Structures are given as C-alpha cells and as structure tokens.
C-alpha cells in the first residue's frame, strides 16, 4: 500500500511527561520508521525548544507558541496546561498543512485547545479527522463535575467529537465512556503500545537506593503522577500492616505531586519514613526504578474498579516482568487477557487490610512473583507490540480515507 502523510496534533508531547505524550511520540516514530511521513503539531511548553525541528526518528515536529496556564485544582493541578488557540497559530497551522498536504489528521486528547484547531482545519481543508480519547473527563470532587461534565458532554462533544470522522479508544472502559457521554458507537478499539524499556544500569539502581535511603529494603513501586484520582490512599493505608509483618519494606511513589493528602495520610499513620515520594523522574530512568522493585502497584480511583482501566505505567511494569497489583477491570482489553492470579493481581478498592495481606504474601514468595512476572511479560509482548498497534492504526486511517 502507498505511504501516507499523517499530521498528529497534541498539546502534550515530550518534554511533557504523561501517558498520552508517550503514546503520541512512539506512534509517530513507529509510523515514520515504516516510511510514512509524520508531522506533529504541539505546544511549545518550553521557550528553549525550537519551534521547528526534525527528530532523529524522522518525525517532523512543529511547536506553537503557547501560554502556560497555572496549576488548577479543577485540572488536578496538572503542570502542563497550555493554550495555543490564537490567530497567529491558526495561520501557522494552515501554512503547515498547505505545505505538507496530509492525508489525515490525528488528534490526541479531545479536551485541549488543539482539538479546536483540528476541527477547524478538518472543515477548511476537508482532511479526515481521527481523535484518540486518552482521558475520561471526571473529577474526584463532585462540585467540579458540575462544570466538567456539561463542558465535556455538550461543548466538547459539539466542537470536537462531532467533528471527528472516527474515534479511537484504547480500551473497553474508554469505549463505554464514549458511548455514554457522546452517543458515538462507531468507534475503534486500539490498545496502547508498550515499548520495551532500556536495560537497567546496576550502578544507577544503587544510586537510586542511596538517594532515597532504601538500603536493602523490599520495594513496592507505584508509578504515575500523584493527584486526587491517583492519591495512593489504599496503598499508604495498607503500610502499617505491611510493616508489622515485613518491616524491611518501603513504598516508593514515583511521579509529580499535585496534592498533599497522601503525605498527610502517611504522617497520620506514622509510616512517613517508609513512604517515599520521589517527584517526577525522566522516563529513561523508569527501567532502573523497576529493577529495584519487588512489586508495582498503582491504579485510578475516579471510578469503581469495574470501570477502571489498567494504565500505561502498569503495562510497562508487566513488560519488565514485574507483578502488578491493580484495582481495575480485568476485561479492560478484552476477556481473558488479564487473568487474576496468573499475570496480574486484581485487588478490591477501599480494602487496605486485604491489600496489605496480599502484598505480604507476595513479598514472601519469590518463586510466585517470578513466575507471574514472566507470564505478565509474555502477555504484554504478544498483545501490545508497536508493530501491531501501528498496523491497527493504519487500518483505521485507510478505512476513513476509503
């Protein structure tokens, strides 16, 4: 088949650290490796970054002048909020599209303002628009939902979702959200691709142990930004019982911190010395953090577990051969892929005592952890390779073009 010219639009792109940013860059690079011409239009979140650069892997990146917004509680204090929708950027995007004449526009994230840009350009140039829904819009605070839900289901539906020729959902939970919120049923499920992490550096692993004063403690690793939908309260509440039975254990929480409630909970339970908050770390360092971990445990709590997805960080940990504990829907990616007790541990939310005992039992059984980690690694390698994800994405592109 002939090669395509694809223009991706996303407010979040490296150096932004987020799941959708990672997915956008890896998909763009995979398509470029296959000979497709790939452009990315994103926000210039750092003024030191060039407005135009061609990356090593052949992806052409354009950065639009952006106004960085303050961290807001309604946006979970997300540090990368930005605004690009202005006349000068509209003209610049139009010039980019006229120069490259893309076959398709692919928007990542429907809630940021490049969604408005994508919808306008679709109409002006009659280029098909595909939108990947990365995030379910819902807040842990019911008062904020009084603003967010109408904005999502009325405003964004009208100006972005209804202008999209096709929607892509990464899993069945997001699919259900799209059907309920937007009444769109002709969606495509394409799971996230998971790239094998680089080999860990033993010297760096020991350096991390010293940095966080871990010594030779057993480590429960929890990857991902810390906010009220990812507040780790269950994990922290489980630590007193874990420490009773396995006192040489530490909980290492890796990610940008946007709420103080986890630290306050750790202090109130007297486990602050065993709960370490690292702050954000480069993605290239994740392999080293996983290398020192005995377990990885991290899940969202904005929904009941039956409607909660398994995140990218957990999938990366599984591919690294780690046992992952999650309060999530085991059918996130289809029946039979995630099997409780075989390649993942599914735990109930809001049950820290039960969670503690599950953690202790796993820490005491190295053979079980190793076997489960190997099965997890095989499952992710088989179903989430970037070759497969890119092929499915191209199939969605060609279906719209036809």
Per-position pLDDT tens, the chain of length 402: 589 999 999 999 998 888 899 899 999 999 999 999 999 999 999 988 888 877 878 999 999 999 999 988 888 888 889 999 999 999 999 999 999 999 999 999 999 999 999 999 999 999 999 999 998 998 878 899 999 999 999 999 999 999 999 999 999 999 999 999 999 988 999 999 998 888 999 999 999 999 999 999 999 999 988 988 889 999 999 999 999 999 999 999 999 898 999 999 999 999 999 999 999 898 889 999 999 999 999 776 766 777 788 888 899 999 999 999 998 888 888 888 899 999 999 998 889 999 999 999 999 999 999 999 999 999 999 989 999 999 999 999 999 998
For the beta carbon of residue 146, count every other beta carbon within 10 angstroms.
Answer: 11
Q: What angle do CA 319, 309, 394 make, to 5 degrees?
A: 70
Is the peptide bond preceding residue 288 cis, with omega within 30 degrees of 0? no
Q: How far apart are CA 128 and CA 125, in angstroms?
A: 9
For 196-247, what is each residue's pLDDT tens digit?
888 999 999 999 999 999 999 999 999 988 988 889 999 999 999 999 999 9
Q: Tokens standing for 132?
A: 């990947």
pLDDT score recorded for residue 296? 96
Domain boundaries, given as residue ranges, for the chain: 5-193+385-401, 202-383
Q: How far apart are CA 381 and CA 376, in angstroms?
A: 9
pLDDT score recorded for residue 203? 96
Grouping H, G, I as helix, E, B as strand and the rest as coil, residue 271 is coil
Instruction: Tell me the whole-structure pTM to 2 decimals.
Output: 0.83
For 365-389, what is each residue's pLDDT tens digit?
999 999 999 999 999 999 899 999 9
pLDDT score recorded for residue 99? 96
pLDDT score recorded for residue 302? 63
pLDDT score recorded for residue 228? 85
Q: How far apart are CA 39 and CA 29, in angstroms?
A: 10
Same CATH topology for 5-193+385-401 and 202-383: the answer is yes
Q: How far apart are CA 352 and CA 309, in angstroms?
A: 20
Domain covering 202-383 in this structure, CATH number: 3.40.50.2000
Compute CA distances 226 → 73, 262, 299, whole Å: 13, 8, 11
Sequential DSSP letters for 151-200: IIIIIIHHHTGGG-SEEEESSHHHHHHHHHHH-----EE-PPP-PPPPPP
pLDDT score recorded for residue 134? 94
Q: Tokens standing for 231?
A: 């507040």
CATH 3.40.50.2000 is right for the domain spanning 5-193+385-401: yes
* Residue pointed to by tokens 């202008």: 163
- % of residues, the chain, pLDDT over 90: 75
Closest CA to 61 of 98, 23, 113, 96: 96
Strands 5-10 and 37-44: parallel
């Amino acid at each position: 088949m002939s090669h395509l010219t694809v223009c991706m639009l996303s407010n979040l792109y490296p150096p932004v650290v987020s799941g959708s940013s990672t997915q956008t860059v890896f998909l763009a690079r995979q398509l470029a490796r296959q000979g497709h011409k790939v452009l990315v239009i994103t926000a210039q979140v750092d003024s030191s970054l060039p407005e135009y650069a061609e990356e090593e892997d052949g992806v052409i990146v354009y950065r639009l002048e952006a106004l960085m917004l303050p961290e807001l509680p309604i946006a979970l204090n997300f540090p990368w909020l930005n605004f690009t929708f202005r006349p000068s950027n509209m003209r610049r995007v139009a010039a980019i599209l006229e120069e490259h004449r893309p076959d398709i526009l692919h928007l990542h994230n429907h809630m940021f303002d490049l969604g408005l840009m994508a919808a306008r350009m679709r109409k002006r140039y009659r280029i098909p628009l595909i939108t990947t829904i990365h995030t379910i819009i819902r807040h842990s605070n019911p008062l904020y939902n009084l603003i967010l839900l109408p904005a999502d289901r009325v405003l964004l539906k009208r100006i972005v979702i209804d202008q999209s020729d096709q929607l892509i959902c990464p899993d069945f939970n997001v699919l259900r959200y799209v059907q309920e919120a937007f009444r769109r049923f002709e969606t495509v499920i394409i799971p996230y691709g998971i790239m094998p992490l680089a080999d860990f550096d033993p010297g760096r692993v020991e350096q991390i142990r010293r940095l966080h004063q871990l010594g030779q403690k057993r480590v429960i690793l929890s990857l991902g930004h810390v906010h009220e939908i990812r507040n780790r309260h269950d994990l922290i509440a489980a630590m007193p019982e874990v420490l009773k039975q396995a006192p040489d254990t530490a909980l290492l929480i890796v990610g940008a911190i946007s709420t103080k409630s986890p630290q306050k909970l750790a202090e109130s339970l007297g486990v602050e010395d065993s709960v370490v908050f690292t702050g954000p770390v480069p993605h290239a360092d994740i392999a080293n953090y996983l290398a020192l971990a005995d377990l990885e445990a991290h899940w969202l709590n904005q929904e009941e577990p039956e409607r909660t997805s398994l995140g990218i960080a957990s999938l990366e940990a599984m591919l690294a051969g780690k046992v992952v504990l999650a309060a999530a829907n085991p059918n996130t990616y289809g029946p039979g892929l995630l099997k409780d007790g075989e390649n993942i541990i599914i735990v109930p939310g809001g049950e820290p005592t039960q969670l503690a005992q599950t953690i202790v039992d796993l820490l005491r059984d190295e053979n079980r952890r190793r076997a489960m980690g190997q099965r997890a690694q095989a499952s992710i390698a088989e179903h989430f390779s970037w070759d497969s994800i890119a092929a499915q994405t191209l199939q969605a592109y060609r279906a719209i073009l036809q």
